[in-house]
Structure 1
Amino acid sequence: MTHPALLIIDVQQGLCEGAGAAFDGAGTITRINALSAAARAAGAPVVFIQHEAQNELRHGSREWQLADGLIAESGDVRLRKATPDSFNQTELQALLNERRIDALVICGMHTEFCVDTTCRRAMALGWPVWLAADAHTSAGNAALSPQQVIAHHNVTLANISSFGPLTRAVPVAALIREGRLGLPAHEHR
Structure 2
Amino acid sequence: MIFIQHESTGGYLEFETREWQLAQGLEVVPGDVRVRKSTPDAFLLTELEALLQAREIGELIVCGMHSEFCVDTTTRRALALGYPVVLIEDGHTSEGNAFVSAPQVIAHHNVTLAAITSFGPRVRTVTAAALQFETP
TM-score range, shorter chain: over 0.9
Which digits, 9 at most, give the CA deviation of each residue in 1:45-68, with x for residues without a partner?
Answer: x11111111232111222112223
Question: Partners of 1:112 and 1:140 in 2: how far apart?
Answer: 9
Letter in 2 for 1:78: R
Question: Partners of 1:97 and 1:173 in 2: how far apart?
Answer: 28
Bigger helix share: 1
Match runs of 1:37-186 below 5 Å = 46-54=1-9, 55-176=11-132, 179-180=133-134
Shift of 1:70: 2.5
TM-score (normalizing by structure 1): 0.67
Which structure 1 residue ranges, 4+ long, deviate > 4 Å from structure 2? none
Question: Partners of 2:75 and 2:134 in 1: how far apart?
Answer: 18
Question: Partners of 1:78 and 1:121 in 2: how far apart?
Answer: 19
The SS at the match of 2:29 is coil
The SS at the match of 1:105 is strand
Which digits, 9 at most, give the CA deviation of each residue in 1:66-123, with x for residues without a partner?
Answer: 2233322222110100000000000000000111111111111111110110000000
Question: Partners of 1:180 and 1:151 in 2: how far apart?
Answer: 27
Question: Partners of 1:108 and 1:180 in 2: how far apart?
Answer: 22
Q: How many residues align?
A: 134
Unaligned runs of 5+ in 1: 1-45, 182-189
Question: Partners of 1:98 and 1:73 in 2: how far apart?
Answer: 19
Letter in 2 for 1:168: R
Q: CA RMSD in A?
A: 1.4
Question: Partners of 1:127 and 1:67 in 2: how far apart?
Answer: 25
Question: Partners of 1:126 and 1:69 in 2: how far apart?
Answer: 30
Identity %: 61
